[in-house]
Structure 1
Amino acid sequence: MTRILVVEDDIDIRGLLTRGLEAEGFSVDTAGCVGDALAAARDESPEAVVLDITLPDGSGHDVCRSLREGGYPGPILFLSARDEIRDRAEGLALGADDYIVKPFVFDELVARLRTHLMRRQAAEGPRTLINAGKLVLDLDTRQVTCGEASARLTPREAELLAMLMESVNRPVSRADIFERLWASQGGLSLNVVDVYVGYLRTKMADFVRHGGPLLVTVRGRGFMLDSRGPDYRH
């Protein structure tokens, strides 16, 4: 699931964007200020950013500049009420891929977002590395690392971890995991998901003390990689 970071201080617009993008099949993280936006970009590894300019603790320009200077490769789309040519030019000069003026047509925003994501993917080629905070999975070698800790996964373990990393801090149901990874194989039940989650927990047992996420069971909802830390969980 493609992860999008929405940076918008207007709670109504933020909610509208979140609901709409999730309905389009995206996973959405949100932030309402510069500080939260940079923290979310660092911790959640979004594949694209939809960014307002006017924020309570600075400017969306600051966010765009920091992301590009830090090597962020994904599409950045400004979504702003500022409609002067110089505003658009400044945003694009900072490294944004697009500039959409409010009020906007949601379908157009989604179409532009998908276009930029496809262009970026085509330019980069097949993705081999997935990041979720300090956790890094190499899909080619099936090596997962977290700080100084590492583990080698089987092909199916790597597929399962990749699915959980794509939805970090959000539960993924047993049914969804089974449908994606095992439904095409006859004679298996949902219990196979629990078995492989157990395998992953064993191999990643040392990752938490290196700042990695915890693989948790969410009662009634499935499994989740929780990167929010023990203070949040308690």
Structure 2
Amino acid sequence: MNILVVEDDADIGAMLSRGLSAEGFDVTVVGRADEALDTARQYNPCAVLLDIMLPDGSGIEVCRALRDAGHSGPILFLSAKDDVRDRAEGLGAGADDYVVKPFAFGELVARLRAHLLHRLGDAHAGRLLAGRLVLDLPTRTVLFGDIHVRLTEREAELLALLMANPNRPLPRGEIFDRLWASQGGASLNVVDVYVGYLRTKLAPVGRAGGPQVATVRGRGFMLDLAGAGPAH
């Protein structure tokens, strides 16, 4: 997914470029309002991270112009202005979120992914996408080329969580908290059991060169979009 970052602070722009690239995004960074509009028209980014105070104009006006031009992807403001009125103005201009500087990069990525998944779910009638892998939520069916694999409800929930964080290891504890903590009697090893189930179901996808559920030693499990890292 291509992300447009509009940020006139070179250090912040470079940090976002490095961090988002490591998360699997294609990133373009510009520092001016006119560059933002030109780049958006040329590349139609999946999402825009937009500073409000730009040297040649306001990010608020950029946001309005993008919406008027038909841009439907998520727009997240990044701003040091944290007054309630500033937030209201930003959201009223058509933004999906407003993140105050300084921000935690992990939180920013989580918000960005949540908005992208929401939009993708709307656009694809309940389908989640990660690379060429598709998860049809209503039928709990994995699609990869000509491969169709049916999952159980809990297997689908686990895969959806991994697809929301592609190429990023998720600790067992985080997975457990998200999927099993509310159920009495479950223990942490239930994560390993369902990872095993999911790997078995996705084996045909892996043999076709598609994504695999990989173990990252000491860090947890992740969906490896390259399909090169063996599940072990």
TM > 0.5: yes
Higher relative contact order (CA 8 A, sep 6+): 1
Query: How would you bin the TM-score normalised by the shorter chain?
Result: 0.5 to 0.7
Q: Alignment partner for residue 80 of structure 2, among 105, 109, 130? A: 105
TM-score (norm 1): 0.62
The root-mean-square deviation of aligned C-alpha atoms, in Å, is 4.5
The alpha-carbon deviation at position 169 of structure 1 amounts to 0.6
1:68-87 matches, within 5 Å, as: 68=44, 75-79=47-51, 80-83=54-57
Higher mean alpha-carbon deviation, 149-158 vs 9-18, is at: 9-18
What residue number does 2:40 align with?
A: 64
Query: What residue ranges of structure 2 are gaps of 5+ in the alignment?
Result: 99-111
SS state at 1:161 partner = helix
Runs of at least 5 residues in structure 1 that lack an aligned partner in the other structure: 20-27, 32-38, 42-48
* Aligned equivalents of 1:199, 1:100: Cα separation in 2: 37
Residues 66-101 of structure 1 deviation map (CA, whole Å, 9 limit, x = unaligned)? 554xxx7x553544543289x848655544479999
Aligned residue identity for 2:25: A
CA contact (8 A) 2:2 2:47 kept: no
The answer on whether the counterparts of 1:53 and 1:61 sit within 8 Å (CA) in structure 2 is no
Identity of aligned residues (%): 42
| Whole-angstrom CA distance in 1 between matches of 2:191 and 2:206 | 22
Distance 1:215 1:101 in 2: 33
Once the two structures are superposed, the pairs formed by residues 80-159 of structure 1 within 5 Å of their partners are 80-83=54-57, 88=62, 91=66, 94-96=69-71, 104-105=79-80, 107=82, 112-114=95-97, 117=115, 124=122, 128-159=126-157
Distance in structure 2 (CA, Å) of the matches to 1:136 and 1:15: 31
Is 1:222 the counterpart of 2:196? The answer is no
**Greater Cα offset, 162-171 or 5-14:** 5-14
Deviation at 1:30, TM superposition (A): 3.7
**What's the TM-score, normalizing by structure 2?**
0.63
User: Which residue number in structure 2 is paired with residue 40 of structure 1?
Assistant: 25
> Please, which of 196, 205, 208 is the counterpart of residue 207 of structure 1?
205
- 1:193 matched residue in structure 2: 191
